[in-house]
Amino acid sequence: MVDVTVEPREIEIITRNGDTVRADVYLPAGGTAPFPVLLGASPYQKALRHLPAAPPVFPFIEYGPMQLYLDQGYAYVAMDVPGTGRSTGTWDPVSRAEGEAIHDVIEHIATLDWAGRIGMIGMSYYCWSQWNAARTRPPHLATIVAFDGATDMYRDWMYQGGIPIQGFLNSWLYGSVLLQHHGNGLPIADNGRGDFINDIYQHPFDDEWQRRRSPFWELDQVDIPVFSIGAWGKASLHLRGNFEGYRRVRGPKRLLITGAQTFAETQRLFFDEDFHRAELLPWYDYHLKGSDNTVMEGPPARFFVQGEQKIGHATDWPPPEAAVAELFLSAEHSGSQTSLNDGLLTDEPPSSGGGATSWSYPDPVWMAGVTTFDSQGVPHHTRRVVTYTTEPFQHDREFTGQGVLHLFASSDQNDMDVMVKLSLLPSEAVPSPVVRVSQGWLRASHRAEDPALTTEMRPFLRHDKPDPIDPGRVYELRIELLPMSVLVRAGDRLRLEISNWESSITEAPMTHWYGQKVGTDTYHHNDVHPSRLRLHERQRIATVQQLS
């Protein structure tokens, strides 16, 4: 990474709420004003911009290759959102008020003699800020490139399926915000910075407090050009938001899902200058400079097809040509897994009978979440969870789009948590790592769906009030699976894991609070209760291009 070679100057803006927001302005060394402007907004302190992008040491360095854009004639503005860094006010993360402050900064910049058309940039929180500002519709915001960022804070990461997140909140809030402020000489408790985690846990339903910090609900009014970019490796935090943001906005839009497999890989990708030259820079050049390029002529949706190392494309998401495939849960053994039951996932619906799988919790053998260790200290992630695995596929099949698990379940308790993970198990003939395909979560007392937003393949939960279950009664639970794209080749298998907790090794930092659960749950799979996995499947046609 080439460090910025020009010194910034600080500007101040008084927002509509009376806060003093401060931002650093970096202008290109050459060229003639006005310059197209890229704005990045976060609570990560513009004063820390000198730190390198070094995941996982500084995961909050998310502004991208600034020098590249300066060299291309762009101005870059780095803003401390209210209540953070050098900006006054109360920190109210991703609230509409924070979006309005960014709106006010954009409109102030537009009055300055060096400023041309204005766009926004950055990943993760910087991406939240882009969605958040866009929903307020600043007249001078010309475009956003929303790289790796949620849109519905409640559903995307605070309470997935109604189950509270625990691990990420601590590592993010303290590691990236509070302790960084303290290390920079700023008190943790000032400006509301220490209140956010408590506020989250005091709002376990999708109430007014939650709605204020979910741009999702207003994105259908956004008509500026939007480029939404996600990564399969950030599925458990941001990916759903990138898809929902793409679907909700109504202006010119494009979707790209990259093959970055981890949080760290995603951050490194956002600092990769070649990636920016290929994807982001042409977008900004077209929408901020008026360059005559072909950025708007490509397919609307592109996505890395896992298991194939290629980029697929479609005219929309989910791909309109995708059909629905069903895989049924069965008590028969797959003969391939070490788990509580080694169940089978099959194309054939259950005949009479079919059985059920019961298991009790907490499991005394669990050691790192649901992960166990053998006598040599080797971890095993499925030994003490319920699994259903296919036979080796007879031919290639591509599953691209949405997924939903219809699970008939009962419990001896008045609530139950269900956490599911779908994985690709490569053929033993070609040894390679297990690939995570998708995940989903549901607390049974949150099972009520919103009919206005629910579709056949994507349950949209209301999360407005608790609805306990009756012990012993069988319920059909529809569990949303995150978007996916995977090629399952002949000889490969798919494995579905089900538990009420997850591994703190494979799922960190996006782990959930276990709570006080003690009981026995039963998953039913018979002709009366045909539990099944439903996935969008595309025929293998010419819809992929080889990665360069």
Extents of the domains making up the chain: 9-298, 323-538
Measured distance CA(77)–CA(40) in Å, rounded? 6
Range 350-365 average pLDDT: 90
Measured distance CA(467)–CA(459) in Å, rounded? 17
Query: Among candidates 542, 457, 533, 453, which has minimal Cα distance to 496?
Result: 533
Angle at 456 between CA 450 and CA 461, to 5 degrees: 25
Measured distance CA(522)–CA(500) in Å, rounded? 12
Tokens 């500026």 belong to residue:
224
Which sign, positive or negative, has the C-alpha torsion 516, 522, 523, 524?
Answer: negative
Measured distance CA(405)–CA(484) in Å, rounded? 14
Q: Judging by DSSP bridges, how do beta strands 35-42 and 20-26 pair with one another?
A: unpaired
Burial class (CB in 10 A: 0-12, 13-18, 19+), 393: middle
CATH tag, 9-298 = 3.40.50.1820
Residue 540 has pLDDT above 80, yes or no: no
Q: Compute the mean pLDDT over every residue in the chain, rounded to the nearest whole number.
A: 95
pLDDT given at position 544 = 43
Q: How would you write 365-423 as a 3-class SS string?
A: CCCEECEEECCCCCEECCCCCEEEECCCCCCCEEEEEEEEEEEEEEECCCCCEEEEEEE
Measured distance CA(510)–CA(324) in Å, rounded? 29
138: which 2 tokens? 């600043």
Residue 233 has pLDDT above 80, yes or no: yes
Please state which of the ranges 184-188, 318-322, 401-405 shows the lowest mean pLDDT: 184-188
Query: pLDDT band for position 139 (50/70/90)?
Result: very high
pLDDT given at position 546 = 39
pLDDT given at position 424 = 97
Which sign, positive or negative, has the C-alpha torsion 199, 200, 203, 207?
Answer: positive
Measured distance CA(385)–CA(340) in Å, rounded? 6
First to last CA, the chain: 22
pLDDT given at position 16 = 98
pLDDT digits (tens, 9 = 90+) for 10-62: 999 999 999 999 999 999 998 899 999 999 999 999 999 999 999 889 999 99
Phi-psi region of 425 (alpha: psi -120 to 50; beta: other; left: phi over 0): beta
Helix (DSSP H) and strand (DSSP E) numbers for the chain: 12, 26
Query: pLDDT band for position 351 (50/70/90)?
Result: confident
314: which 2 tokens? 């479609």
Query: pLDDT band for position 541 (50/70/90)?
Result: low
Angle at 128 between CA 124 and CA 132, to 5 degrees: 170
Residue 397 CB contacts under 8 Å (≥ 6 apart), including other chains: 325, 487, 488, 537, 540
Query: Among candidates 396, 400, 389, 392, which has minimal Cα distance to 492?
Result: 392
Measured distance CA(396)–CA(400) in Å, rounded? 13
Longest distance between any two alpha carbons in the chain, whole Å: 77
Residue 547 has pLDDT above 90, yes or no: no
Query: pLDDT band for position 542 (50/70/90)?
Result: very low
Measured distance CA(457)–CA(334) in Å, rounded? 27
Query: pLDDT band for position 462 (50/70/90)?
Result: very high
Q: Judging by DSSP bridges, how do beta strands 379-380 and 323-333 pair with one another?
A: unpaired
Return the exposure string of 22-57: e unless at least 16 CB atoms fall within 10 Å of the residue's CB, then b.
bbbbbbbeeeeeebbbbbbbbbbbbbbbeeebebee
109: which 2 tokens? 């910049």
Fold of 323-538: Jelly Rolls (2.60.120)
Measured distance CA(283)–CA(463) in Å, rounded? 37
pLDDT digits (tens, 9 = 90+) for 398-454: 999 999 999 999 999 999 999 999 999 999 887 789 999 999 999 999 999 999 999
Residue 174 CB contacts under 8 Å (≥ 6 apart), including other chains: none
* Count of Cβ atoms closer than 10 Å to residue 182 Cβ: 14
pLDDT given at position 3 = 58
Range 82-104 average pLDDT: 97
Query: Among candidates 132, 346, 325, 134, which has minimal Cα distance to 225?
Result: 134
Is the peptide bond preceding residue 56 cis, with omega within 30 degrees of 0?
yes
pLDDT given at position 270 = 97
Range 296-323 average pLDDT: 96
Angle at 443 between CA 442 and CA 449, to 5 degrees: 70
pLDDT given at position 545 = 43
pLDDT given at position 269 = 97
Inter-CA distances, 168 with 91, 158, 177, 355, 504, Å:
19, 9, 13, 38, 11
Write down how long the chain is. 548
Residue 110 has pLDDT above 50, yes or no: yes
Range 60-65 average pLDDT: 96
